[in-house]
A and B are shown apart, each in its own frame.
Chain A
Amino acid sequence: MVERALSLKNISKTFGKGHTKVEALKKMDFSVAKGELVAVIGPSGSGKSTFLTIAAGLQKPSTGQVSIGSKSIDAYNSKELAKLRFQKIGFVLQSSNLVPFLTVADQFTLIEKVDKSKKKPAAREDILQALGIEELKQQYPRDLSGGEKQRVAIACALYHDPDIILADEPTASLDSERAFEVVKLLGREARNKNKGIVMVTHDERLLAYCDRTVKIRDGKLADFIPDSAEV
């Protein structure tokens, strides 16, 4: 049996009450296995962001169960959730999640400083080399190109050896060539390091590099048919 990195069971999320009630997610089931890169697509307002924030434990679903690995996180409080995010989940966000006043090397140091569990993080040099950014160590984010920033962000996400990587439109600010490069990199890391990777995107050209694609429409999950009939 395939080991699950993340699973969402019967997830619903409603905002507001009465006339203003909005159902962002309706009884959604989703899971990603270790070593798998799954793309989640959907038009804006479809519930993609809600899906991602619930998967990350940033907000609680109205009903349903979220599990990271084999553990349900439903009962976690915000402190435990923060710890969980820090240890088990890597993030790659739309507009680079780098701290502007830290050099690339110091972005990694920050992770070490916050981590008090003293677990030996995967060697920094290896990750930098694997992502081809070892030359950028002393640079500040402002000196990096968009592609370089996302590569550093991926390196940071991997640094802590998380089980899952959640990527929110990681290619939004990149040209096609750079975008393909970043997605290929994510896929490679998923397989090499046995991580479950969920990538939310609206760019269908990237789907060829993903193991599986699901589509969110009106808060429901549907299998994606790679077809232009939708457009």
Chain B
Amino acid sequence: MFLGINEMKYSKGRYLLIILVMALITWLILVLSGLATGLAQGNRLAVDQWKASGVVLSKEANSNLNASTLNQNLASKIKADQVATIGQVSLSISKEDKTDNDRTNVSLFGIDSSSFLMPKVIAGKSFAKKNEVIATEKLKEDGFKLGDKINAGTYDQPLTIVGWFAQSTYNIVPVIYTSTATVKAIKYGSSEAQRDNINGFVFKGTASNQVKTPNEDTVVLSINDFIEKLPGYQAQNLTLDTMIYFLIAISAFIVGIFIFVLTLQKTSIFGVLKVQGVPTSYLAKAVILQTGLLAVLGVLLGTLLTGLTVAFLPDSMPYTTDYGNGSLYLFILVIMAILGSIFSIRTIAKVDPLTAIGG
């Protein structure tokens, strides 16, 4: 460590450069990870809030709630602790008195207000009459207020916001809950044929592998499988995770090459030190500890930069700090940088002290 620190003090410029590269990569990784977490959460937050163990959907829906249609009377055939029906429709809403085309995309869930899917109302009251809805308070940011009458898609009747509940999103858009009847009216109109239909069922309290499918046209999905199969969810996560792991690998290469070049420059010094009897292990330790120190400093600087960036990020960016994953990435970065320095150790081991004498 003594050699490493003194060398860094002596050649501040070049080591600052390595720290800076490390910091920039850390910065990028942390921001990407925050976005990945934010996007993933935006997709699944409402589902997480259900605290459910699984869902039952129709087979041909391909695990997509929106595409699923089931007869609501099947509920009695699902042998789980708690079972709730759920209707879902994605649409855009606007305030009724608004004339411009400024609309907001939302995901509207139809539930039974006595079921476990019902969120805690934090202001106003629960929906009771037809066309009454409760909305995530996220919609306040778009100018919606309690008691507002809103247009929903092509539905011919206005909906009324009667209550707020906590932040919630599904497929990145804000969530609104209403009665099953209201969702059916929006989704199917007054069609008699669809009277008993609903999107699916959510169950809780019984593990998904203990729940049998009520008939052969349905599938039971665990809540995790359901989340993985949310449209776009997996593709998005895979893309971002791949980018992050590639960046980590690249940083290992960059730091490794930097350290390798610096080691090559120092072979004559290492030769002289070896003549004097300084063991190879001491020199190797110096290089590894130095790399570790560089990586830690870089990672800390990168974390600081990320902290500053997050403070200035616009609200529209779905950024969520994930401390667990973030720390894991930082740890892997430091380990990878140290691994990158290890192939310089061979160079040190191969330095022949003979070359330092005579010549």
Contact indicator B279/A91 (Cβ below 8 Å): no
Which of A8-16, A27-35, A47-55, A179-187 lies at the interface?
Answer: A47-55
Contact B275 A85, beta carbon cutoff 8 Å: yes
B6 touches A102 (CB 8 A): yes
**CA A79 – CA B281 in complex, angstroms?**
10
B interface with A by C-beta (< 8 Å) = 2-3, 6-7, 9-11, 269, 272-280, 282, 353-354, 356-359
Could you tell me the distance between the alpha carbons of A215 and B253 in the complex, rounded to whole angstroms? 52
Q: Which 10 A-B pairs have the closest CB atoms?
A: A86-B277, A49-B358, A85-B277, A101-B10, A101-B7, A97-B272, A82-B277, A113-B2, A82-B279, A114-B278
CB nearest neighbor in A for B7: A101
Would you call A82 and B2 a contact (CB within 8 A)? no
Q: Tell which of B3, B275, B280 has the most Cβ of chain A within 10 Å.
A: B275
- Residues from chain A with Cβ under 8 Å of B9 in the complex: 101
Does any Cβ of B come within 8 Å of A56's Cβ?
yes
A86 adjacent to B358 (CB under 8 Å): no
Q: Indicate whether A53 sits within 8 Å of B357 (C-beta atoms), given known contacts A99-B269, A101-B10.
A: yes
How near does chain A come to B215, taking the closest CB pair, in angstroms?
Answer: 76
Residues of chain A contacted by B279 (CB below 8 angstroms)? 79, 82-83, 86, 114
Query: What A residues does B3 contact at CB under 8 A?
Result: 99, 102, 110
CA A52 to CA B359, docked complex, whole Å: 12
Q: A101–B15 Cα gap in the complex (Å)?
A: 13
A100, CB-defined interface residue at 8 Å: yes
**Assembly CA distance A204 to B6 (angstroms):** 40
Interface assignment of A168: CB less than 8 Å from any CB of chain B: yes
- The chain A residues found within 8 Å of chain B, CB to CB, are 48-49, 52-53, 56, 58-59, 79, 82-87, 89, 91, 93-94, 97, 99-102, 106, 109-110, 113-114, 140, 168
Q: Binding site of B, secondary structure by majority: helix, strand, loop or mixed?
A: helix
In the assembled complex, the Cα of A85 lies from the Cα of B284 at a distance in Å of 19
Q: How far is the CB of A61 from chain B (nearest CB, A)?
A: 14
How far, in Å, is B48 (CB) from chain A's closest CB?
54
The interface residues of chain A lying within 8 Å CB-to-CB of B273 are: 99
A52-B357, A58-B353, A114-B282 known; A82 vs B6 contact (CB < 8 Å) = no
Q: In the complex, are the beta carbons of B10 and A58 less than 8 A apart?
A: no
Q: Give the distance in Å from the alpha carbon of A94 to the alpha carbon of B358 in the complex.
A: 8
Residues of B within 8 A of A140 (CB): 10
Contact B276 A97 (CB under 8 A): yes
Closest to B283 in A: A114
A residues less than 8 Å from B278 (CB atoms): 82, 86, 110, 114
> How distant is B196 from chain A, measured CB to nearest CB, in Å?
82
Contacting pair A93 B6 (CB below 8 A): no
- Pick from B277, B282, B354: contact of A87, CB below 8 A: B277
| Residue in chain A with minimal CB distance to B358 | A49
Would B2 and A58 count as touching, CB distance under 8 A?
no
Task: Name the residue on B nearest A109 (C-beta).
Answer: B2
Given contacts A58-B354, A102-B3, 5 further A-B contacts (CB under 8 A): A52-B358, A56-B275, A86-B276, A101-B10, A114-B282
B277 & A53 in contact (Cβ 8 Å cutoff): no
The residue that B277 contacts in the complex, of A52, A83, A93, with Cβ under 8 A, is A83
> Once bound together, how far apart are the Cα atoms of A86 and B357, in whole Å?
16
CB of A156, distance to nearest CB on chain B (Å): 8
A84 engages B277 (CB within 8 Å) = yes
Residue of A nearest to B270 (CB): A99
Establish whether residues A93 and B2, one from each chain, have CB atoms under 8 Å apart when the complex forms: no
Instruction: List the B side residues contacting A87 at CB < 8 Å.
Output: 277
Instruction: Determine how close the nearest CB of chain B comes to the CB of A59; give it in whole angstroms.
Output: 6
Of the candidates B7, B11, B274, B358, which one forms a contact with A53 in the assembled complex, judged by CB atoms under 8 Å apart? Answer: B358
Residues in chain A near residue B6, CB distance under 8 A: 101-102, 106
Contact status A59-B358, CB under 8 Å? no
